């Protein structure tokens, strides 16, 4: 009898565990509540407005809501810290849409004559209805017919906008003049002039002269309406691709940072796709989701609101809110380092710049990996780092730009127009080795790090192109490729510190990391081939280099390449590729500060491991990261990244939301 009872209890527990918790969806209006209840499968939680929903999800009272870019920005800030997990997809427009200004045909004003007009907006802080148009008008300035605003210290932004337009409907505004045209000023569907369809209705009813909405809103009324273009012209509503104010990120489902919860939300929504999830009945449109949505795209786990929106749009919203004022700290350069060795060198550099009171313009930050440093720079918690081409690529996909490039030819340092430096990616073996490019499979290898140019992207890209498989861990029998999964064969040969600490870590704390580390791995007979740069052997032999390199002779090593083998000095004829030099990356708005700071530094670069030992000077880069890397190298990376595991989590997150503006 007892056994029967125990089994019964266990069965009940199993049933409870098998039944997942319901997903609690936050709604902002009676119309959304009715749709949610009709869909079923969701627990419907109604709140007065967007911010109330954000707080409810933060506090665990609800689980998810779909937000536009402006609200995604707010949700991502502390203390909310919500993350986008699913992006709306609009068919051919992917995960982007266009912000447009719609006017009635027959009116005779353009973008430069909006002062004194009546305006209809989707809502305060929303992307197409507020952030883009107000940001654009602020950028134009009074001289070009735009808005004048001296910042929050002068007056609230709402007051400046209220002075610009004669009357408005901006749902959610606190300035009464901005609510003058609204039926009520609630930032929810209880206000008939809220959101895209509401702002357009405000225009249709004759309440306003211009409506700031998304590109799809007026398509069905094309005979009666036109778009205002940024160049001062007008075009048909169908011409939104060439007549818009910005191309902006899609709406996205946001939730707390919890993978299991995100999986549950995705699974429930997938069951509702054929049940009207993307359809709104009645006069109110875009309930819960935009009606134009065709599917939901799952975003990588690492995606934050900053990564999803992109730095350019994030900074545009940030400038509208004027949440930070310039301070002395903004004049400092915060350099990001990886590992204890780099940090120590940076501290030395910083100390050399200190004034009599011990203050230095250079502040040294540290992170565990280059990827973490890139994130830190993205989030404005650091300013710069020196990285190799593969990392320039990752940084570029995340919105950072190259600022300075290492120059290895001293003769080219004397002129600003000197050709940018390149170097050769090479494969090095011992001179008596019988290993060739064609017989490497099954052998042991040493790499600078996963994602680095000479040590990974170039050799593994060539091997992928040749053998057409992505399981790199099985190509070599054992390797040291810092940054790989510690339990894989790609980390088997790594040295680590005492008791194996920091083994396979992608920083100088792993002795086999970087050019010198990969060469050391091969020189100490851990691996049979090292993938490094052409100057590494000379820098660590014949009396050069650290203690471990003492006694090594350059004549004891040779190059191997797809065409054969050659002496170490013959790298121009026997290499894997000629690739861009290492570069300093930063945020776009910090580019000039970094260039000015580094140009003013008189540094012996060979003493600072933040730069390559062969660096003679740094030269300014005025190119995009794509132009800097060149099409040949970009194609090599793209080929390699056909293998999903070759893309870092950060790169995957940044490329998943890519939506450049048209400004």
pLDDT band at 315 (very low <50, low <70, confident <90, very high): confident
Pairing of strands 444-447, 529-533: parallel
Q: Is the pLDDT of residue 11 over 60?
A: no
Give CA–CA dist 528/440, Å, rounded. 9
What's residue 663's pLDDT? Answer: 34
Give CA–CA dist 169/202, Å, rounded. 8
614-636: burial string, b at 16+ Cβ within 10 Å, e else: bbbbbbbbeeebeebbbeebbeb
Nearest by Cα to 371 from 360, 361, 382: 382
- Which of 208-222, 305-319, 610-624 is predicted most confidently? 208-222
Q: Is the pLDDT of residue 6 over 50?
A: no
**Dihedral angle, C-alpha 36, 190, 61, 80, nearest 10 °:** 120
What's the rounded mean pLDDT across residues 362-369? 94
pLDDT band at 157 (very low <50, low <70, confident <90, very high): very high
What's residue 2's pLDDT? Answer: 45
What's residue 20's pLDDT? Answer: 66
Residues 250-277: tens digit of each pLDDT: 899 999 999 999 999 999 999 999 899 9
Give CA–CA dist 43/649, Å, rounded. 32
- List CB contacts of 229: < 8 A, sequence separation 6 or more: 110, 111, 235, 242, 243, 244
Q: Is the pLDDT of residue 455 over 50?
A: yes
The answer to whether the beta carbons of residues 452 and 512 sit under 8 Å apart is no
What's residue 547's pLDDT? Answer: 94
User: Across-strand partners of 287?
Assistant: none
pLDDT band at 545 (very low <50, low <70, confident <90, very high): very high
Name the E strands within 140-277: 167-169, 210-214, 225-228, 234-236, 246-249, 252-255
Q: pLDDT higher for 174 or 467?
A: 174
Of 9-23, 103-117, 326-340, 562-576, which range is least confident?
9-23
In this structure, what token pair is assigned to residue 391?
């990392």
What's the rounded mean pLDDT across residues 614-623? 87
CA-to-CA dists, residue 609 to 118, 126, 172, 286, angstroms? 59, 46, 53, 54
What's the rounded mean pLDDT across residues 55-73? 96
- List CB contacts of 639: < 8 A, sequence separation 6 or more: 461, 464, 465
Give CA–CA dist 207/204, Å, rounded. 8
Report the percentage of the chain scoring pLDDT > 90: 66
Q: pLDDT higher for 116 or 220?
A: 116
What's the rounded mean pLDDT across residues 491-509? 90
Q: Is the pLDDT of residue 98 over 80?
A: yes
Give CA–CA dist 200/202, Å, rounded. 5
Instruction: Using the Cα atoms of residue 312, residue 155, residue 74 and residue 185 in order, give the sign of their dihedral.
Output: negative
Of 4-8, 109-113, 550-554, 608-612, which range is least confident?
4-8
Q: How many Cβ atoms from other residues are within 10 Å of residue 60's Cβ?
A: 9
Integer-rounded Cα Rg, in Å, for the chain is: 29
Helix (H, G, I), strand (E, B), or coil: what is residue 650? helix
CA-to-CA dists, residue 501 to 36, 261, 505, 511, 519, angstroms? 52, 34, 9, 11, 20
Q: How many residues does the chain have?
A: 663
The answer to whether the beta carbons of residues 464 and 476 sit under 8 Å apart is no
493-524: burial string, b at 16+ Cβ within 10 Å, e else: bbbbeeeeebbbbbbbbbbbbbbbbbbbbbbe
Q: Is the pLDDT of residue 62 over 70?
A: yes
What's the rounded mean pLDDT across residues 530-540? 96
Report the percentage of the chain scoring pLDDT > 70: 92
In this structure, what token pair is assigned to residue 464?
């992928």
Phi, psi at residue 543, to the nearest 5°? 90, -5
Q: Is the pLDDT of residue 452 over 70?
A: yes
What's residue 471's pLDDT? Answer: 85
What's residue 503's pLDDT? Answer: 95
What's residue 280's pLDDT? Answer: 92
Could you report how far apart the first and last alpha carbons of the chain are, in Å? Answer: 76
- Taking CB atoms within 8 Å and a gap of at least 24, the contacts of 30-35 are 30/189, 30/190, 31/189, 31/280, 31/282, 31/284, 31/287, 32/189, 32/287, 32/288, 35/276, 35/280, 35/281, 35/287, 35/288
In this structure, what token pair is assigned to residue 307?
């990564």
Residues 390-417: tens digit of each pLDDT: 899 999 999 999 999 988 888 888 765 5
Burial class (CB in 10 A: 0-12, 13-18, 19+), 291: middle
What's residue 391's pLDDT? Answer: 92
Distance of CA 615 to the CA centre of its chain: 29
Give CA–CA dist 288/36, Å, rounded. 8
What's the rounded mean pLDDT across residues 286-300? 92
- List CB contacts of 369: < 8 A, sequence separation 6 or more: 338, 483, 505, 506, 507
What's residue 416's pLDDT? Answer: 57
Give CA–CA dist 223/104, Å, rounded. 9
Q: Is the pLDDT of residue 500 over 70?
A: yes
What's residue 277's pLDDT? Answer: 96
Q: pLDDT higher for 417 or 220?
A: 220
Average pLDDT, the chain: 89
Q: Is the pLDDT of residue 9 over 50?
A: no
CA-to-CA dists, residue 447 to 334, 397, 526, angstroms? 29, 24, 12
């Amino acid at each position: 009898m007892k056994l029967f009872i125990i089994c019964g209890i266990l069965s009940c527990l199993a049933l409870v565990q098998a039944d997942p918790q319901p997903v609690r969806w936050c709604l902002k209006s009676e119309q959304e509540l009715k749709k949610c209840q009709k869909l079923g499968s969701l627990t419907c939680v109604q709140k007065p407005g967007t911010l109330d929903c954000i707080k409810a999800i933060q506090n665990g009272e609800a689980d998810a809501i779909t937000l536009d870019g402006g609200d995604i920005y707010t949700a991502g800030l502390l203390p909310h810290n919500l993350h986008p997990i699913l992006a709306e997809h609009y068919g051919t427009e992917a995960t982007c849409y266009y912000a447009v200004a719609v006017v009635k045909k027959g009116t005779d004003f353009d973008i430069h004559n909006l002062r004194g007009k009546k305006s209809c907006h989707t809502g305060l802080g929303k992307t197409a209805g507020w952030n883009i148009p107000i940001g654009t008008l602020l950028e134009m300035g009074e001289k070009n017919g735009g808005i004048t605003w001296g910042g929050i210290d002068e007056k609230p932004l709402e007051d400046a906008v209220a002075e610009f337009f004669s009357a408005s409907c901006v749902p959610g505004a606190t300035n009464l003049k901005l609510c003058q045209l609204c039926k009520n000023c609630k930032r929810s569907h209880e206000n008939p002039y809220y959101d895209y369809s509401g702002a357009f209705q405000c225009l249709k009813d004759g309440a306003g002269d211009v409506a700031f909405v998304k590109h799809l809103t007026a398509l069905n009324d094309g005979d009666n309406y036109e778009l205002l273009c940024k160049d001062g012209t007008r075009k048909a509503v169908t011409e939104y691709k060439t007549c818009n104010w910005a191309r902006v990120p899609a709406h996205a489902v946001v939730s707390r940072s919890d993978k299991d919860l995100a999986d549950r939300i995705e699974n429930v929504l997938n069951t509702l796709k054929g049940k009207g999830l993307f359809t709104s009945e009645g006069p109110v449109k875009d309930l819960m989701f935009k009606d134009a949505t065709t599917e939901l795209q799952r975003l990588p786990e690492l995606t934050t609101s900053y990564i999803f929106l992109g730095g350019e749009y994030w900074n545009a919203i940030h400038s509208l809110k004027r949440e930070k004022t310039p301070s002395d700290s903004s004049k400092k350069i915060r350099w990001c380092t990886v590992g204890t060795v780099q940090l120590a060198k940076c501290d030395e550099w910083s100390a050399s710049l200190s004034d009599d009171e011990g203050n230095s313009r250079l502040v040294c930050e540290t992170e565990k990996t280059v990827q973490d440093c890139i994130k830190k720079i993205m989030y404005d918690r650091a300013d710069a780092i020196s990285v190799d081409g593969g990392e320039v690529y990752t940084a570029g996909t995340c919105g950072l730009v190259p600022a300075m490039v290492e120059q290895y030819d001293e003769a080219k340092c004397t002129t600003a127009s000197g050709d940018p430096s390149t170097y050769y990616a090479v494969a090095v073996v011992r001179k008596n080795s019988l290993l060739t490019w064609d017989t490497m499979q099954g052998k042991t290898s040493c790499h600078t790090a996963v994602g680095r140019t000479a040590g990974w992207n170039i050799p593994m890209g060539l091997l992928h192109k040749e053998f057409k498989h992505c399981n790199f861990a099985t190509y070599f029998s054992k390797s040291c490729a810092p940054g790989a999964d510690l339990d894989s064969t790609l980390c088997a040969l790594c040295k680590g510190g005492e008791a194996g600490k920091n083994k396979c870590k992608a920083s100088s704390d792993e002795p086999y990391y970087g050019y010198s580390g990969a060469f050391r791995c091969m020189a100490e007979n851990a691996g049979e081939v090292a993938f490094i740069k052409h100057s590494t052997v000379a820098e660590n032999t014949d009396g050069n280099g650290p203690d471990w390199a003492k006694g090594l002779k350059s004549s004891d090593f040779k190059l191997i390449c797809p065409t054969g083998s050659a002496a170490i000095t013959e790298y121009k004829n026997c290499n894997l590729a000629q690739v861009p030099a290492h570069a300093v990356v930063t945020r776009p708005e910090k580019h000039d500060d970094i260039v000015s700071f580094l140009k003013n530094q008189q540094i012996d670069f060979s003493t600072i491991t933040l730069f390559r030992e062969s660096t003679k000077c740094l030269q300014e880069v005025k190119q995009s990261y794509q132009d800097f890397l060149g099409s040949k190298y970009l194609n090599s990376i793209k080929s390699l990244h056909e293998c999903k595991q070759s893309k870092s989590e950060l790169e995957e997150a940044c490329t998943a939301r890519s939506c450049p503006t048209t400004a």
